[in-house]
């Protein structure tokens, strides 16, 4: 069972955020969509209870903070590919992709979504 359930993320502008996450999340495996008026939800296709959900909703007073959401991928080339997608979709504060000192082979890209929420895509070999 995957212990990760869901992320409910606040964004400053829902339309801008949907465009960003509509490109990034399917590339990470969140290919199912459950979009309503207030909440936009992307999900993996894993059967319950292993399904993971990533949801956003607009909060006009949203201010990004020091939290970071990190997505694990299978290879350095996936980190590169996803960093390119994020950059193309308007990611800010891109750092990397580059090796990091967090462990042997740790390779990551760090960036912010259009609302300033900090994200990371990384690979950490066994």
- Mean of the per-residue pLDDT values for the chain? 94
H, E, C per residue of the chain: CCCCCEEEEEECCHHHHHHHHHHHHHHCCCCEECCCCCEEEEECCCCCCCCCEEEEEECCCCCCCCCEEEEECCCHHHHHHHHHHHHHCCCEEEEEEEECCCCCCCEEEEEECCCCCEEEEEECCC
pTM of the model as a whole: 0.91
pLDDT tens track for 27-43: 999 999 999 999 999 99
Percent of the chain with pLDDT over 90: 88
């Amino acid at each position: 069972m995957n212990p990760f359930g869901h992320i409910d993320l606040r964004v400053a502008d829902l339309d801008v955020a949907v465009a960003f996450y509509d490109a990034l999340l399917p590339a990470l495996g969140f290919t199912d969509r459950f979009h309503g008026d207030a909440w936009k939800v992307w999900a993996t296709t894993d059967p319950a209870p292993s399904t993971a959900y990533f949801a956003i909703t607009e909060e006009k007073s949203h201010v990004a903070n020091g939290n970071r959401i990190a997505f694990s991928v299978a290879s350095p080339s996936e980190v590169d590919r996803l960093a390119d997608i994020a950059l193309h979709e308007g990611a800010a504060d891109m750092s990397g992709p580059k090796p990091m000192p967090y462990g042997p082979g740790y390779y990551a890209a760090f960036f912010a979504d259009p609302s300033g929420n900090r994200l990371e895509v990384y690979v950490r070999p066994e």
